[in-house]
Amino acid sequence: MFFWKKEKKIEQARLPELSSININGIDFQIRIERIKKRHSSAFFRKNEIIIRLPRHIDAIHEKESKEKLLEWAKKNILKNFDAIKKQKEKESLFEQGGKIAVLGKEFDLIIEKANKKNTFKLIKEKNTRENANSEKLILLAKCFDKVNKKKLLQFIRKKFEKEFIEKVNLINDRYFHEKIGEIKIGFASKRLGSCNKSKRKLMFSINLFLMPEIAINYVIAHELEHFSQMNHSRFFWSELEQKFPSYKEGKAWLKSNKTSLF
């Protein structure tokens, strides 16, 4: 991962020069910016490579600097390509005609234009012979950006929270037999679940709803086991294996997909 200092104000007298390059099937836009500084620099973010050149650099040094900095960017993109690819796949969840999984069920995501504020709806289609009960998640929006992604997660929580809580109680009744005081769904981006033993409270992230069922079940079982053991000792894992033997599959999935989580 690369970090850079806060960007300084760029000379606005000249518009940035644009081009693009394809690296392992992913298109990156190359943006050339003219700055007042004497030294050239480059960095990349998302699908963009930004090269900054001194405003008064001559043609020969400009060409050399571009080639050198572009080569540096390509090398570091390839070095971090797996993480970049997974981020791209994560973003593709919200593209027109894409599919999104919620609690192990797959839905078609359809984006339709709307003149007013964004709304969502879940519909069932019974027209196709192959999948008589297929469901589609419809988004009515002017555009689909980060704000809308958050609203979609809010919609998913509203529609599927009851079903998720039923799943937690089912796993608890079948394998753990713990007393649960409260189950809450939040919007934590990194922690998928937590347990408050004294209050008998469980907290889960809405991001967990978008993962495979084996991962969902593992996180639920993991947090339920914390009612008995508030640590990750050998005894914790031994007890979890006795009560919920299939936990290893979900744990392995999370370990191999940690860079692509929401």
Q: Are residues 49 and 172 in the same domain?
A: no
Distance CA 42, CA 28 (A): 14
Q: Are strands 48-54 and 26-35 parallel, antiparallel or unpaired?
A: parallel
The answer to whether residues 40 and 144 belong to one domain is no
pLDDT of residue 145: 55
> Does the pLDDT value for residue 197 go beyond 90?
yes
Listed residues 38, 55, 87: the one ending a domain: 87
Both tokens of residue 178?
Answer: 């713990």
114-120 contact pairs (CB < 8 A, 24+):
114/140, 114/141, 114/142, 115/142, 118/142, 118/148, 118/151, 120/151, 120/152, 120/155
Inside any domain, residue 117:
yes
**Do 81 and 106 belong to one domain?**
no
Q: Are residues 209 and 148 in the same domain?
A: yes
Q: What is the pLDDT of residues 78-105, one digit of tens each?
A: 888 877 776 666 555 555 556 778 898 8
127, part of any domain: yes
Structural domain of residue 214, as residue ranges? 99-260
Q: What is the pTM (predicted TM-score) of this model?
A: 0.62
Half-sphere exposure of 214 (CA within 13 A, CB side): 12
50, 65, 87 — which closes off a domain?
Answer: 87
Q: How many domains does the chain have?
A: 2
